[in-house]
Amino acid sequence: MIDKLIAATWKAQAAAGLAAQVQRATDAVLLYDLMALAANESAPAQVRAIAGQKLEQLQGWCNQLVPDPSLAAFYAYSAAQIKRFQTNSKDIGVPRPPAPPPGMPIGDDERDYAVR
């Protein structure tokens, strides 16, 4: 399941413009949640181990070279946050994502939710 989430977010084709910012915000939420899961002392050891392994794999993936300077900066920041977390799992350096605002998701309208 974690691999599918990473494929649908981090490893999805990079968007442009406002969609790129939404994509990076989504990536940041998944990063936070993976760190929180890996640090969750109530979670089973196997679950924590898998979350930690996926973070390590994601860190390696973030070290790739990309031509977009903004995306490269986001990847470098994310890789550094994972490294910081690995050093001290009590310190999730990424701030807790804010709750989504009420209303339709960006780019959606009511017609998308109509029964057809």
Q: CA-CA distance, 76 to 58, in Å (whole number)?
A: 11
Instruction: Please state the pTM of the whole predicted model.
Output: 0.77
> pLDDT averaged over the chain?
85
Judged against a pLDDT cut of 70, whether residue 95 lies above it is answered with: no
Helices (H) and strands (E) in the chain, counts: 4, 0
Domain boundaries, the chain: 2-92
Judged against a pLDDT cut of 50, whether residue 87 lies above it is answered with: yes
Closest to 98 (Cα-Cα) out of 19, 49, 29, 40: 29
Asked if 86 and 58 touch (Cβ cutoff 8 Å), the reply is no
- Determine the average pLDDT of the residues in 82-99: 75
- Encode pLDDT of 47-67 as tens digits: 999 999 999 999 999 998 889
Asked if 114 and 108 touch (Cβ cutoff 8 Å), the reply is no
- Encode pLDDT of 16-33 as tens digits: 999 999 999 999 999 999
